[in-house]
Every structure is written in structure tokens, then in C-alpha cells.
Amino acid sequence: MSFCGDTAAAPRFDYVACPQCVCGAPLPDETTVCKEFAWGTVRFSRCVICGSLVQAPRVTTASVAAWYDSAHYQAARSRDEGPYLDYLAEEGARQQEARGRVARDLAGLLPARGRVLEIGCATGSLLIERYRGTEYSEHLRSLLAADA
């Protein structure tokens, strides 16, 4: 498998093999996208059958849990700092970050009319930006209005 260089001084993520896509096809050895974090590199491979991007190798559940609880993720050096002090008030910043992520990370990888499944999407900022300008069915608009 081709790997990106880990920028973390001592990577703390643990990984498990992910030999196949959710569609059942074996994943190629090449890494398509790499994301660098303080705790290590997260790699994605594109399935040659269905086109999905799959985290491979996967970061273990225990590593993700430890990262979410860490000061690196929470930025909790003091009571006055951190991404979740006022979650709803920070939505504008998340939308701005999502615009950048769509332009930088997704625009060249996804077909214009492709679908995205984002797991753990929080308020959906990334999906909102991905589908900005998309026409929704009347049924979906009524469901969204009912949630507001």
C-alpha cells in the first residue's frame, strides 16, 4: 500500500486493515486522499467498482475515541477556549470551513451529480455546502421545514 508521510512526531493513531469497499470489491493498494492530523495520517482509497472513497486502513475505534477526548481535538487548554463551548453559535465558522473543504478536498473527487454519505455529520455543514444550489423534492423540503 502506498502511504503518505506522517507529519505527527509520534503518530498515535492505531490502524486496522480495510481490504474491501462496502460494495464488496477489493480496494486498490493506492492511496487516493491523505489527511494529516496531529495524531497521524488518515488515508482513503477509491473503489474501482463503485467509486466510493473508503478509509483504508481504518483508524481504530479506540484511537478515534482517545483523539476526541484529547486536548488536540478539544483545544481545551482553558475554560475559555475550545470548539464546543457554544456549538450553535459556532455554526457560521463550521459553514465557512465546510466551504473550504468542499472546494479543496471534494470538488475534484466527486461527480457533479454524485451522492455523498457523511457519517457523523453533526449539523450537516459539509453536506449543505456540497449540495448548495441543488433542487430538493417537495417531500424533502416539507420534512426539512418540519424539523426547523
Domain boundaries, the chain: 1-77, 84-148
Summarised one tens digit per residue, pLDDT across range 80-130 is 555 556 666 777 887 888 888 888 877 777 777 667 777 766 777 777 777
CB-facing half-sphere around the CA of 138: CA atoms within 13 A? 0
pLDDT score at 134 = 58
Tell me, what amino acid is at 105? Answer: D
Grouping H, G, I as helix, E, B as strand and the rest as coil, residue 62 is helix
Read off the pLDDT band of 140 (50, 70, 90): low
Task: Please report, rounded to a whole number, the percentage of residues in the chain having pLDDT higher than 90.
Answer: 8
56 has pLDDT over 80: yes
Alpha helices for 75-134 (secondary structure H):
91-101, 125-130
pTM of the model: 0.54
% of the chain beyond a pLDDT of 70: 68
Q: How far is it, in rounded angstroms, from Cα 132 to Cα 124?
A: 12
Residue with cell 492505531: 14
Q: In the chain, what is the straight-line distance between the N-terminal and C-terminal CA atoms, in Å? A: 45
Per-residue model confidence (pLDDT) at position 27: 92
Longest Cα–Cα distance in the chain = 51
**AA identity, residue 115:** R
Determine the Cα–Cα distance for residues 13 and 38; give it in Å rounded to an integer.
Answer: 10
Q: Which three cell numbers stand for residue 113?
A: 451529480
pLDDT band at 2 (very low <50, low <70, confident <90, very high): very low
Task: Note the pLDDT of residue 50.
Answer: 87
Work out the pLDDT band at 1, boundaries 50, 70, 90. Answer: very low
Kindly report the number of other CB atoms within 10 A of residue 69's CB atom. 11
